[in-house]
Structure 1
Amino acid sequence: MKMKNIRNFCIIAHIDHGKSTLADRLLDSTQTVNEREKMEQLLDNMDLERERGITIKSHAIQMDYKLNGEEYTYNLIDTPGHVDFSYEVSRSIAACEGALLIVDAAQGIQAQTISNLYLAIEHDLEIIPVLNKIDLPGAMVEEVSDQIIELIGCKKEDILHASAKEGIGITEILEAIAHRIPAPTGDPNAPLQAMVFDSVFNPYRGIEVYFRVFNGEISKGDKIKFINTGKTYEADEIGILKLTQQPKNTISTGNVGYLISGIKVAKEVKVGDTVTHVENPGKAVQGFENVKPMVYAGIYPVETSDFEELRASMEKLQLNDASLVWEPETSAALGFGFRCGFLGMLHMEIVQERLEREFDMTVITTVPSVQFHAFKKDGEMVKVSAPSELPDLGSIDYLEEPYIRAQIITKEDFVGPVISLCMDKRGEIKNQVYLTQSRVELTFHLPLAEIVFDFFDKLKTISKGYASLDYELVGYHSSNLVKLDILLNGDKVDALSAIVHRDKAYEWGKKLCEKLKELIPRQQFEIAVQAAIGTKVIARESVKALRKNVLAKCYGGDISRKRKLLEKQKKGKKRMRQVGNVEIPQEAFMAVLKLD
């Protein structure tokens, strides 16, 4: 295939604007899939993606297309739309020259549309705007076209109209890709430079690496080297990614392919690394920036003996999900486990589900927290990603917490409730812009810790599902934070501790105690559930003891007989309380997330 006939492009859009359906139609039109293989959301091949109707992984697939007697090769990389998976999007964008920007004609431009668009513009991609779902009765074609023109400064005739579901406008999109997206540039005779943009674990063949060749070419049997890790291998099999893998002898400049070289250790492949030849090495390609986790939580095996198995599962999962960051840690309550960094709460939920489904690991997840900076009196700065890592309060001068800039796009009717929700979360409004007569873009500075739990759900509720959110980290600011400990029978449960703002500590502690009172099963002795800051207890609830009726055998007689029996029972309970330990169910750890 000549380089001038290769087109590498991705599809970017807000969640639910029809990317996966459009990808299906493009695969149908180019006869990449036959009738037997056809199914809805073909590229979303994980059970989880199908159940939730969202794309979690980016997927690469190659199509052949004929136009005016010329043969073209299209490499499509489908991307997720949810803000928690924006790292997947940035990786796909780094491997492309163009992007289809999909906008739902009934909903208009949403926050994630804008943030994904900026990612694409930063990489100088050619943008083809597509107005999708024009067949819907609620489609506002003219209005949304004006929004797109205002956003990217294109002409009205540049916007393609389509309905992926009905198959309208698909031919126009395929032609536009050939005419408007530039062919890849690169020198086929230069030393090999191929960027790794994804990898997958295959239990039989080791790790499969997906790459895009920027310069040079790679052939089967070549001795290759990964620049970042410095490891060398032989290219046992290379090929292109159709619906199934198709082995080839050579992959030339500008093309996308896969590589299998019997790599067994997950750590040896880094997404963003550059593959080159051992004999004639090239320079590293400027990859994409390292991932910045937003939320930290502990993941522990239910059985302590499964620790090594969990470690192996995490390594395999990290291959497939490069935005997962983790390191080992220990907890007094839960034993050995891992401290993991996630991009958001949905990401955390998906990782937990995937560990259970794909690797049969039953895990306990602790209360999520964000990373704080603790400045000691001697000027040293300590990064705190779990409450247990917080230094002694006497030695701390002040604490800083991460702040984000949140972009919320909503209808004008909901501006009031959205502002009051953000104010309630200690946010301050920075900007308010009317995109159209009825759509407003609000910009806030908010503490990340406040939006981690249920902010997104609440935002959707008060705006009847119309508000969309996108956020980025802007830095750290000092705050009046305290460590809230939960004590059961006077013993601290480190997995339930949290770092909270002092103004909210009492309310948070009281709610948490009430919730734990409901969830902790009753024992033979009374359990005191307390919330404390340092040594000061700020809230308490009691889980009453289960009691046997020891007075059942006393019919009448002197009251002292009853007293004697009750005293005996009381002593037994007291002794039990000293030796008994409290089992905490998994729901109790997750209860914190559902505090309203």
Structure 2
Amino acid sequence: MKNIRNFCIIAHIDHGKSTLADRLLQTTHTISDREMMDQVLDDMDLEREKGITIKSHAIQINHKHKGEEYILNLIDTPGHVDFSYEVSRALAACEGALLLVDATQGIQAQTISNLYLAIDNDLEIIPVINKIDMDGAMIEEVKDQIIELIGCKPEEILLASGRTGIGVDAILEAIIDRIPAPKGKEDAPLQALIFDSVFNSFRGIIVYFRIVNGVLKKGDKVKFVSTNQEYEADEVGILKLGLEARKEVKTGDVGYIITGIKNAKEVKVGDTITNALNPTQEIIKGFQEVKPMVFAGIFPVNTDEFEELRDCMDKLQLNDASLTFELETSQALGFGFRCGFLGLLHMEIIQERLEREFNQTVITTVPNVSFIAYTTKGEKIIVNNPSEMPDAVKTDRIEEPFIKAQIITKPEYIGNIMTLCLSKRGILINQSYLTQTRVELVFEMPLTEIVFDFYDKLKSQTRGYASFDYHPIGYREADIVKMDILLNNDKVDALSALIHRGKGQEFGRKLCEKLKELVPRQQFQIAIQAAIGAKILARENISAMRKDVTAKCYGGDISRKRKLLEKQKEGKKRMRQIGNVEVPQEAFLAVLKLDE
């Protein structure tokens, strides 16, 4: 066990984690040249297309150092703020972390927040400056930033290039010398922490774990502590590029177990696996429950596909424990799910994965956050979507979630960022210079305002030089109202939104204009209105399409034509009374793209 090292790579998005992982695998000959490709651990098509890591990937490396064989378990983690839950799970299975900083960009917001996560988990941190072969590399400046941030000595910082392989040997040496071996007893009762799971349609659920104490053998009877279910270990093994079966997995190892479980509800990430015959008395203190930030409804396009969608959501949740969902019904869209996501990118990825991996086409409603409403009787109601909002007459006050936003940027963009954040009802808390070319701005902002397009706008205002990170700081009272969209005086519940009263008129007007472009014309006039309560804030009309009823009259008396036109007029009146309006899928997504 003294020759095992468990470590992960943490960094801001796009600082070269996956490329460095490739070089580590190549240098140690874990992967043959034939299997080698760029970002070899990113095995989802989506990850390759977007150039980001979405899932943590574990792989075992065998490395010889000073005549001894070492086993290194590497977990590559995502860098985007929306997948920080994946990072926290990877850290729970490790003793050390490589903190990667891009030599051309320096320390960015997510670097800092991932570093704090690692420090909270008592991990040994090895700072690495990556991309030192680039033209714009500022090695000395970035060194100063790292020393200031974690207080290490200059000689402890390693220089490397994931692309060319410079410095990879030094990193492997540092992993072996600096990261402690796992602690644990092989003769103690089995204790293993589940940190991930995937669904395989032939073999059931494959559970990934890290053994803290004891040994897990093939054929053992195991028990999952939180669900109290017992299973037989059909196959256990370690994680190479694929799964590699072994007779037993020992203390300190990262491995997998297949027990033929088919039901997704029986596996919980963060649970403890123990031996059914000799169970452990303690469960491993794993993760806190995930807190979703953004809520949206997901509905099947055909209502009869609901059961199928439920199965797919269960399987997806196995692989992405940060997705939460519950049942929801909508008058416009039928049965579906109210889903909680960690952010907008997370929501987009889930929608894409449903379509690609499970062939599900879904409609996603307007994302919002959860509010707390207090009624005049003193009851507290959690409002996750507009239909749960109590009547304005019965509501005493409403509180909305606030976040602390940390933005790191170059000094020349301070003005743009100030304008943007203040227009989103932000309050400036602190402004400090990290170095002469780096400013950190700390704002307190309502989460509602950053849900839509804040991150995109921030990037465009600062030409991509700002990095952004946030965490929740509680609820505060706010003037939040429910805005309804009416089509021919019928409310469309899927288009309702909870917004700040001050933004109501502008938001309503933009939305009505957008819907006017998207809703198809009918034989009768359609009125699109935005309303708060009984007060109409904006209105647009879609004029009627006119069918030429007089086309078949050639010549003859004008009264024949008049008679046909009168008949059409009568029909139009009747049509308007009972006419239903079809709303296309694009209309639901229009709300997200109001400013374009």
Q: Which category describes the TM-score, using the shorter chain as reference length? A: over 0.9
Give the SS at the match of 2:435.
coil
Give the SS at the match of 2:134.
coil
Alignment of 1:18-57 (within 5 A): 18-57=16-55
Partner of 1:224: 222
Partner of 1:254: 252
Give the SS at the match of 2:549.
coil
Q: One-letter code of the match for 1:186?
A: G
Q: Which moved more, 1:397-406 or 1:275-284?
A: 275-284
* 1:458 and 2:457 matched: yes
Distance in 1 (alpha carbons) for counterparts of 2:238 and 2:244: 5
Distance in 2 (alpha carbons) for counterparts of 1:135 and 1:458: 31
Distance in 2 (alpha carbons) for counterparts of 1:306 and 1:459: 39
**Offset, 1:589:** 0.4
Alignment of 1:418-433 (within 5 A): 418-433=417-432
**Offset, 1:591:** 0.3
* 1:144 and 2:131 matched: no
Partner of 1:578: 577
> What CA deviation, in whole Å up to 9, does each residue of 1:543-582 have, x standing for no partner?
1111113355678888766554433222211212223321
> What CA deviation, in whole Å up to 9, does each residue of 1:41-73 have, x standing for no partner?
000000000000000000000000000001100
Partner of 2:201: 203
> What CA deviation, in whole Å up to 9, does each residue of 1:289-308 have, x standing for no partner?
11000000000000000000
In structure 2, runs of 5+ residues without a counterpart are: none
Distance in 1 (alpha carbons) for counterparts of 2:348 and 2:247: 41
Distance in 2 (alpha carbons) for counterparts of 1:566 and 1:143: 80
> What CA deviation, in whole Å up to 9, does each residue of 1:162-206 have, x standing for no partner?
010011100000000000000000111111110000000000000
> What CA deviation, in whole Å up to 9, does each residue of 1:398-448 have, x standing for no partner?
111000000000000000110110000001000111011011000000000
Alignment of 1:124-523 (within 5 A): 124-282=122-280, 283-523=282-522
Distance in 2 (alpha carbons) for counterparts of 1:570 and 1:507: 36
Distance in 2 (alpha carbons) for counterparts of 1:300 and 1:350: 16
Partner of 2:100: 102
Distance in 1 (alpha carbons) for counterparts of 2:204 and 2:296: 29
Distance in 2 (alpha carbons) for counterparts of 1:553 and 1:72: 89
Q: One-letter code of the match for 1:158?
A: E
* 1:591 and 2:559 matched: no
> What CA deviation, in whole Å up to 9, does each residue of 1:333-353 have, x standing for no partner?
000000000000000000000
**Percent identity for Structure 1 against Structure 2:** 70
Distance in 2 (alpha carbons) for counterparts of 1:563 and 1:376: 59
Q: Which moved more, 1:536-545 or 1:91-100?
A: 536-545
TM-score (normalised: structure 2)? 0.98
Distance in 1 (alpha carbons) for counterparts of 2:407 and 2:316: 32
* Matched pairs, number: 594
Give the SS at the match of 1:577.
helix
Partner of 1:113: 111
> What CA deviation, in whole Å up to 9, does each residue of 1:273-312 have, x standing for no partner?
0000112111110001110000000000000000000000
Distance in 1 (alpha carbons) for counterparts of 2:400 and 2:222: 44
Q: One-letter code of the match for 1:65?
A: H
Q: One-letter code of the match for 2:110?
A: Q
Q: One-letter code of the match for 1:213?
A: I
Distance in 1 (alpha carbons) for counterparts of 2:273 and 2:66: 36
> What CA deviation, in whole Å up to 9, does each residue of 1:197-231 have, x standing for no partner?
00000000000000000111111111111111111
Distance in 2 (alpha carbons) for counterparts of 1:545 and 1:45: 51
Partner of 1:11: 9
Give the SS at the match of 2:483.
strand
Q: One-letter code of the match for 2:184?
A: G
Give the SS at the match of 1:174.
helix
Q: One-letter code of the match for 1:87?
A: Y
Task: Specify whether residues 216 and 581 from structure 1 end up closer, same or farther in structure 2 by C-alpha distance, changes over 3 A only.
Answer: same
* 1:123 and 2:126 matched: no
Q: One-letter code of the match for 1:519?
A: L
Distance in 2 (alpha carbons) for counterparts of 1:579 and 1:354: 39
Partner of 2:540: 541
Q: One-letter code of the match for 2:492?
A: V
Q: Which moved more, 1:154-163 or 1:535-544?
A: 535-544
Q: One-letter code of the match for 2:458?
A: L
> What CA deviation, in whole Å up to 9, does each residue of 1:460-487 have, x standing for no partner?
0000000000000100001001100001
Distance in 2 (alpha carbons) for counterparts of 1:204 and 1:51: 27
Partner of 1:569: 568
Q: One-letter code of the match for 1:507?
A: E
In structure 1, runs of 5+ residues without a counterpart are: none
**Offset, 1:517:** 0.4
TM-score (normalised: structure 1)? 0.98
Distance in 2 (alpha carbons) for counterparts of 1:116 and 1:138: 25
> What CA deviation, in whole Å up to 9, does each residue of 1:20-42 have, x standing for no partner?
00000000011110011111100
Give the SS at the match of 1:322.
coil
Q: One-letter code of the match for 1:260?
A: I
Give the SS at the match of 2:378.
coil
Alignment of 1:82-97 (within 5 A): 82-97=80-95
Distance in 1 (alpha carbons) for counterparts of 2:458 and 2:259: 47
Give the SS at the match of 1:81.
coil
Distance in 2 (alpha carbons) for counterparts of 1:341 and 1:244: 31
Q: Which moved more, 1:541-550 or 1:220-229?
A: 541-550
Distance in 2 (alpha carbons) for counterparts of 1:562 and 1:480: 57
Give the SS at the match of 2:219.
coil
Give the SS at the match of 1:221.
coil
Distance in 1 (alpha carbons) for counterparts of 2:84 and 2:402: 19
Distance in 2 (alpha carbons) for counterparts of 1:581 and 1:38: 57
Give the SS at the match of 1:4.
coil
Q: Which moved more, 1:518-527 or 1:418-427?
A: 518-527
> What CA deviation, in whole Å up to 9, does each residue of 1:50-102 have, x standing for no partner?
00000000000000000000110000000000000000000000110000000
